[in-house]
Structure 1
Amino acid sequence: MARVLCLSSHVVRGSVGLAATVPALQSLGHEVWALPTVTLAARPGLGQAAMLPGGRRATDASELAGMLAALEQDACWPMLDAVMTGYFASAESVAAAADAIVRIMAGNPRIHVLVDPIIGDAGRLYVPESTADAIRDRLLPLADLATPNRFELQWLVGARSLDDRAAIVSAAGTLGPGLVAVTSALQSPTDVTTLLVGKTGLVRETASRLVSGIPNGSGDLFDGLLLGHLLAGLPPADAMDAALATLARVLESSAGCDVLQLRHLFHTSP
């Protein structure tokens, strides 16, 4: 069992952010310390709750820093095996997280750090540019594993386009972390491909069947499964394949549903 500190969004209704990452890690036997960076009544697009008054509350950067400082003062950092970061609402919150991770790494140099740079998709940023800048400049240099989608990778490295496998692999190799899993890297009418890139080049290329009509949260779920398998001792390529295999089962059962059907993480009957 490993202990993982996770900082990302959380939803009351749905399986997005921590509501997907935490069950994924727990299903593989790991202990999770979850700290929401923002809390939504429901995932965006699922009803109107997140848009209504009181339906969204960002964790203030000072509050985030205070929570992390309390854990540090209670001598919790040496207990950790990994830190995972996802969605942040502001550059100040990114800075609070990065400052804490630096201190965690100082006392625990073998700690794993996964950064999912959740900044945008489909050709546009959906966080303030200052937040995206902070993730690039403050968090990614601390990571040994990153999981951007193709648009996020393109934005983070400042590329005009990433239109083929070679360009994506080259860009991932310059991002910083020793391993980069590029999600939705390539897509055909029937398949979507994930590329795992190391410092020496392409480590694994895995195509998965493209499933239409799936609810949000697949990226967060993949993050938890990938890190969970790595912490269990699987080599990176095998960890990615195991994560994608479980993700495929969940997505197949979730097509047309409002939320991801996470029961498949725990091997229960449909």
Structure 2
Amino acid sequence: MATSDSKRVLSIQSHVVHGYVGNKVATYPLQLLGFDVDPLNSVQFSNHTGYKCFKGPVSTEEELATIFNGLQENELLGQYSHLLTGYIGNPFFLRQVGNILKEIRKANPNLIYVCDPVMGDNGSLYVPKELLPVYRDEIIPLADIITPNQFEVELLTGKEVRSEAAVWEAMDWFHERNIKTVVISSSDLGQPGVLRAFLSQLDGPRLAMDIPKQGDKDLFFTGTGDLFASLFLAHSHASGDVTEAFEKTIATLQAVIKRTVELLPASDGGPVKAWERELRLVQSKKEIEEPKVLLKAQRIN
């Protein structure tokens, strides 16, 4: 049985051989912050899907169940303090995750489930549309913490989020489903050149934070949402203070992006290649272990 100081995460998300997304970007920071991590891979790809091609198998719900049964039969479920889920590309696999969560909670009723409902960004889905009702109706109501982006909030709530008032209405939609903490890791509701992040806790603070964009306006990085979810899991567990967790998570995320931008090769005038934009995670070890909070959260309520 997990004790009050247990720090072990079952992390169910994608794996890539090259680069940093999914379990590859989540495991290292969690370990640096004192967590044991058991990665269970939803896919195993050569690289993330932003390259010109990617190769590798997608795990089935039967394979997931088989692996989980091994953990269960060895009486390991009670060791988990947290379940973290990210990219899943198969609705039947996702439904099986719901069954897994219920079994782990039997072994540890205090388990914290952090759900990053990875479905798309910037108005585009990159998972089958069949995942949406499974997330909305079966998985989301089981979560303690969720970390969607702005587009994913719109998908789940069925409402446009184009104003700050709409953000808080969307937060209430999740709270009505008993989700304690909702974090929108980024939105385009800030001033030009600024992202705006939001956090709402049921019967707790509502927070917003302005985050200056880094690098060229057309530059984007893959895996930042996965990194955000893992960092927030760690910091919210460590302090129990969501404001501190929010600020430290964004501090590290910004530091990793800054390091990545600094280490980009000199431009030859062409577009930045996918491999050049991979997050410089290992090079940011100190910033992960000791985040320096430069941006403060604004208390809304």
Shorter-normalised TM range = over 0.9
Matches within 5 A, 1:78-157: 78-157=78-157
Partners of 1:192 and 1:202 lie apart in 2 by: 20
Matches within 5 A, 1:46-61: 46-48=51-53, 50=54, 55-61=55-61
Q: Which has the larger radius of gyration?
A: 2
Structure 1 residue runs of 4 or more that deviate by more than 6 Å after TM superposition: none
Normalized against structure 2, the TM-score is what? 0.83
| CA separation of 1:202 and 1:158: change in aligned 2, threshold 3 A | farther
Q: How far off its partner does 1:180 sit? A: 0.4
Q: How far off its partner does 1:203 sit? A: 2.2
Question: What amino acid maps onto 2:30 in structure 1?
Answer: L
**8 A Cα contact 1:27 1:265, kept in partner:** no
| CA separation of 1:3 and 1:137: change in aligned 2, threshold 3 A | same
Q: How far off its partner does 1:189 sit? A: 2.1
Question: What amino acid maps onto 1:190 in structure 2?
Answer: G
Secondary structure of residue in 1 paired with 2:222: coil
Tell me what 1:166 maps to. 165
Unaligned ranges ≥5, structure 2: 1-5, 265-275, 288-301
Tell me what 2:183 maps to. 181
Tell me what 1:259 maps to. 278
| CA separation of 1:111 and 1:126: change in aligned 2, threshold 3 A | same
Secondary structure of residue in 1 paired with 2:15: strand
Q: Answer 1 or 2: which has greater strand percent.
A: 1
| CA separation of 1:134 and 1:5: change in aligned 2, threshold 3 A | same
Q: How far off its partner does 1:263 sit? A: 2.4
Question: In angstroms, what is the RMSD of aligned CA positions?
Answer: 1.6
Unaligned ranges ≥5, structure 1: none
Q: How far off its partner does 1:84 sit? A: 0.5
Tell me what 2:29 maps to. 24
| CA separation of 1:80 and 1:201: change in aligned 2, threshold 3 A | closer
Secondary structure of residue in 1 paired with 2:211: strand
- 1:4 has 2:9 as partner: yes
Secondary structure of residue in 1 paired with 2:252: helix
Secondary structure of residue in 2 paired with 1:194: strand
Q: How far off its partner does 1:29 sit? A: 1.2
Partners of 1:64 and 1:79 lie apart in 2 by: 19
Partners of 2:285 and 2:162 lie apart in 1 by: 37
Aligned pair count?
262
- 1:14 has 2:19 as partner: yes
Tell me what 2:76 maps to. 76
Partners of 1:234 and 1:144 lie apart in 2 by: 13
Query: Could you report, residue by residue, the CA deviation over 1:106-155 in whole angstroms, capped at 9, with x for unpaired residues?
Result: 22111100000001111122211111221222211110100000110011
**8 A Cα contact 2:132 2:155, kept in partner:** no
Partners of 1:201 and 1:220 lie apart in 2 by: 25
Secondary structure of residue in 2 paired with 1:56: coil
Query: Could you report, residue by residue, the CA deviation over 1:137-196 in whole angstroms, capped at 9, with x for unpaired residues?
Result: 22111101000001100110111x111111111112212311100122323322111100
Question: What amino acid maps onto 1:104 in structure 2?
Answer: I
